[in-house]
Structure 1
């Protein structure tokens, strides 16, 4: 487990969440440290897993994958084996962008991205209904995106 983040580490993370394409020099200038110190801190954040990876955010509508579906999945039989099979299968599906084990009425919450409703129906038929056990699924289609953020609130704005 990584040690507590320093103020400089937090500034590095905030800057990278805004623009992950910054050079080390630009990042160092932005956070107020030397490039060599910034590079060492950056490498440490990567090696300890604080920074998981670097990626580009693609606009779903512009890429013609604009339908967002939230699927609430309940396994009818609960066992470690059933859960492992489900989790392994979900990880292999590219249209499943996120999967969380959750409390409440469902066991899992999936965020699924598809081009059209027919593609979601195909996802159900070819994947969910082919699982070797029974599941119940409740689907909610996103009508409109109100807020979408990927940056964690690291700058002392929690609860603000």
Structure 2
């Protein structure tokens, strides 16, 4: 059950409902998908056990947490050895500002999304990162405004 094609319509509707609001009561989800509560709860447990649902979290407003600056950081690696990649991955685990890290194809080898309070916060992050592992080049792009942000994947909730 690791691919959308293996999920039936009810599973997809349950996943979509939980992505929209993980605090939605089971009774409301069950009613929306046409099940009673127990079978709905069992499906949710199965979706969690199979890894379709990874975890349920609360989404917070970064600005209200004092993290008003989002920076997209492109990293160019000095080499592509397993040793460097492992060191880089270890360094990222020690940098809580990193919200996402992606290995890329193209002009940047890695793309990070970080959350910091301000430019001084970014400078401190930059110093920590470049002090932890050798890096060939760093490119930063500072977000001015979020036009769209979602954590919900576009799950097909219609019968195919």
- TM-score, normalised with respect to structure 1: 0.92
Does the 8 Å contact 1:96/1:113 carry over to 2?
Answer: yes
Give the SS at the match of 2:71. strand
Does the 8 Å contact 2:98/2:115 carry over to 1?
Answer: yes
Partner of 2:71: 69
How does 1:128-147 map onto structure 2 within 5 Å? Answer: 128-147=129-148
Larger displacement relative to structure 2 (69-78 or 2-11):
2-11
Q: Structure 1 or 2: larger helix share?
A: 2
Give the SS at the match of 1:71. strand
Give the SS at the match of 2:148. coil
Question: Please, which runs of 5 or more residues in structure 1 have no aligned partner?
Answer: none
Q: List per-residue Cα deviations over 1:45-103 (Å, max 9, x = no partner).
A: 00011101111110111222110000000111220110011012112311000000000
Give the total of aligned pairs.
156
Partner of 1:54: 56
Give the ranges of 4+ consecutive aligned residues of structure 1 lying more than 6 Å apart after TM superposition.
Answer: none
- TM-score, normalised with respect to structure 2: 0.92
Give, in angstroms, the shift of residue 2 of structure 1.
Answer: 3.1
